[in-house]
Amino acid sequence: MKKTLMSLMLVAGILSICGCSNNNIPNSINNKENENIRYAKYEVYYNIDTGKKDPLFKGLEMYAWSNNNEWFGGLLPGTNRLKTIDEVTELQNLCCPINILKEIFETYDEQDQYYCGLFIVSIPPQEDELDHSVDNTYKYYEDYLYLCEYFGIHPVGK
């Protein structure tokens, strides 16, 4: 059972890495066609809440990971529960470069942006990384501060 679980985690990690390296979307929006392609690929991130005029009830959670010195991430709605490995692995399979994620993130209310929870995870995510403990934030603190500044998110202090 343990070997099967480890094998599945290894396959998920390999698939997420392959997905990250095969990003055929241009890095910047040059025209309406590129914008439509980007929207279609990352529609789930644009539509976490359809209203977007008011802050989200429970905010946003951003998960970020590094792959070959490049940062990727994804958004999930805020909840009163911890996210599962499967939920975060799905984000990694969609694999949105942070420059595109920033453009998407900026479509949300300023309050949602400022108070968004930012969590750095590995590929594949580990159970202990999903508990939102301050220890995990401090483990990657320099990267965490860089990403908070990049996205304009209020960091948790040390």
> Where residue 40 falls among pLDDT bands split at 50, 70, 90?
confident
Distance, in Å, from the CA atom of 36 to the CA atom of 26, rounded to the nearest integer, reads 12
Distance, in Å, from the CA atom of 79 to the CA atom of 60, rounded to the nearest integer, reads 8
Distance, in Å, from the CA atom of 120 to the CA atom of 139, rounded to the nearest integer, reads 9
DSSP-derived 3-state class of residue 58:
coil
CA distances from 38 to 27, 73, 91, 105 (A): 10, 15, 16, 13
Of 155 and 29, the one with more pLDDT: 155
What percent of the chain lies above the pLDDT cut of 90? 38
For the chain, the domains span: 2-151
Strand order in the sheet with 60-67: 96-97, 70-77, 60-67, 117-120
Q: The tokens of 9 are what?
A: 């985690």
pLDDT score at 150? 95
pLDDT in tens, 102-122: 999 998 888 888 778 999 999
Q: CB neighbours of 30 closer than 8 A, spacing ≥ 6?
A: none
The residue among 66, 76, 18, 7 whose CA lies nearest residue 45 is 76
